[in-house]
């Protein structure tokens, strides 16, 4: 039997003891496993996301003050596991050994709830009219809403008179919403093509046979995740939760071994290369380049904003 990682042991201990505080951040995971569409254009590192989020919240606070509204910057949830997840459900052996699929660890962390919204109580205490004014100042109003069409034909709507938009525009530029939504649409098109590609579906069938031989009968890569989630939700005692945590680590490590044995990461990588070649146009490349430049500019500005806020007198 494989032993639980020290991370899971500590988190289970806190959960079993009824600790009311979160058990701490997710583990320091190795670099992102496997391929990601277009070099991970819509997967910024967690530290970069945290920096830009912090600066955005500062800008929102300052903007709300100009509208006569109080706003307290909201914290960002831990993005470590989400940022480490592979869009094709590929599993790095180091991740499997440390954190399994991250299901039990994330469930224990989430038990204490997401970061508290520092504005919730104050907003709830407002009159209906004042609450509507506060929300309009924050997110904007329908009368200032515009629609942006993507290359796929899908559309997004953006309200341009709220402080959230003003903060994004200040940090990331006028065209950020379109650039980001388009890059997400491009990414999703690649993922859809890759998962449906013949070599990939054949490799998943071989992976399934390998897993069945190891004692875990799953037809697709999401099967183990669904199973572990169901088992965790049904676990009601410390003993059954510990058993699920042990099961997660065992099956995840077999999953990773079987993926490698059928060369699934390489097959997915090749299918991704083909899908990207088929979808890439000059307009797509220009859009991704513009997004990367906007993100780099946002990080630079965010660093200055956060630094200035940190050094300002309380």
Query: Backbone phi, then psi, for 251, in 5-degree steps?
Result: -70, -35
Place of tokens 């060369």: 263
DSSP secondary structure string, 153-221? Answer: S-EEEEESSSHHHHHHHHHH-TTHHHHHHHHHHHHHHHHHHHHH-HHHHHHHHHHHHHHHHTT---SST
pLDDT in tens, 28-80: 665 665 799 999 999 998 899 999 999 999 999 999 999 999 999 999 888 88
Which pLDDT does position 121 carry in this prediction? Answer: 94
Which pLDDT does position 29 carry in this prediction? Answer: 62
**Residue 224 C-beta-side C-alpha neighbours within 13 Å:** 32
What does the mean pLDDT of the chain come to? 89
Lowest average pLDDT, out of 14-18, 64-68, 112-116, 256-260, goes to: 14-18
Which pLDDT does position 276 carry in this prediction? Answer: 98
- For residue 9, what are its two tokens? 């042991």
Which pLDDT does position 167 carry in this prediction? Answer: 97
Which pLDDT does position 204 carry in this prediction? Answer: 98
Question: How does residue 110 score in pLDDT terms, banded at 50, 70 and 90?
Answer: confident
Which pLDDT does position 84 carry in this prediction? Answer: 84
Which pLDDT does position 21 carry in this prediction? Answer: 36
pLDDT in tens, 178-216: 999 999 999 999 999 999 999 999 999 999 999 999 999
pLDDT for residue 106 is more than 60: yes
Question: How does residue 162 score in pLDDT terms, banded at 50, 70 and 90?
Answer: very high
What is the residue extent of each domain of the chain? 41-311
Q: What is the mean pLDDT of residues 1-28?
A: 49
Question: How does residue 250 score in pLDDT terms, banded at 50, 70 and 90?
Answer: very high
Q: Which alpha helices (H) appear in the chain, and where do they start and end?
A: 6-16, 46-66, 80-84, 93-99, 103-110, 120-124, 128-139, 163-172, 176-196, 198-213, 223-234, 238-261, 264-279, 282-311
CA geometry: angle 271, 277, 279, nearest 5 deg = 100
Which pLDDT does position 116 carry in this prediction? Answer: 78
Which pLDDT does position 27 carry in this prediction? Answer: 60
Q: What's the CA gap between 141 and 158, in Å, rounded?
A: 10
Lowest average pLDDT, out of 23-37, 143-157, 300-314, goes to: 23-37
Which pLDDT does position 108 carry in this prediction? Answer: 86
């Amino acid at each position: 039997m494989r032993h639980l990682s020290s991370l899971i042991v500590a988190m289970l201990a806190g959960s079993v003891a009824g600790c009311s505080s979160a058990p701490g951040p997710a583990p320091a995971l190795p670099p992102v496993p496997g391929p990601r569409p277009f070099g991970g254009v819509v997967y910024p590192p967690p530290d970069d996301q945290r920096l830009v989020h912090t600066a955005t919240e500062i800008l929102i606070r300052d903007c709300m003050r100009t509208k006569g509204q109080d706003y307290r910057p909201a914290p960002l949830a831990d993005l470590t596991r989400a940022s480490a997840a592979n869009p094709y459900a590929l599993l790095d052996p180091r991740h499997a050994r440390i954190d399994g699929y991250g299901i039990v660890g994330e469930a224990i962390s989430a038990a204490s709830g997401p970061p508290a919204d520092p504005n919730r109580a104050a907003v709830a205490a407002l009159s209906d009219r004042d609450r509507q004014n506060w929300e309009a100042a924050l997110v904007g109003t329908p009368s200032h809403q515009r629609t942006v069409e993507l290359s796929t034909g899908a559309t997004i709507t953006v309200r341009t008179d709220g402080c959230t938009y003003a903060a994004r525009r200040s940090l990331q530029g006028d065209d950020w919403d379109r650039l980001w939504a388009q890059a997400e649409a491009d990414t999703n098109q690649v993922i859809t093509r890759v998962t449906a590609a013949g070599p990939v579906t054949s490799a998943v069938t071989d992976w399934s046979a390998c897993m069945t031989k190891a004692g875990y009968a799953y037809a697709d890569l999401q099967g183990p995740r669904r199973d572990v989630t169901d088992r965790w939700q049904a676990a009601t005692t410390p003993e059954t939760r510990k058993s699920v945590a042990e099961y997660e680590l065992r099956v995840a490590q077999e999953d990773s071994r079987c993926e490698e044995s059928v060369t699934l990461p390489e097959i997915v990588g090749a299918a991704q290369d083909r899908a990207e070649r088929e979808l890439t146009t000059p307009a797509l490349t220009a859009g991704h380049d513009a997004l990367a430049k906007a993100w780099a500019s946002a990080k630079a500005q965010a660093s200055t904003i956060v630094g200035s806020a940190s050094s300002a007198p309380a």
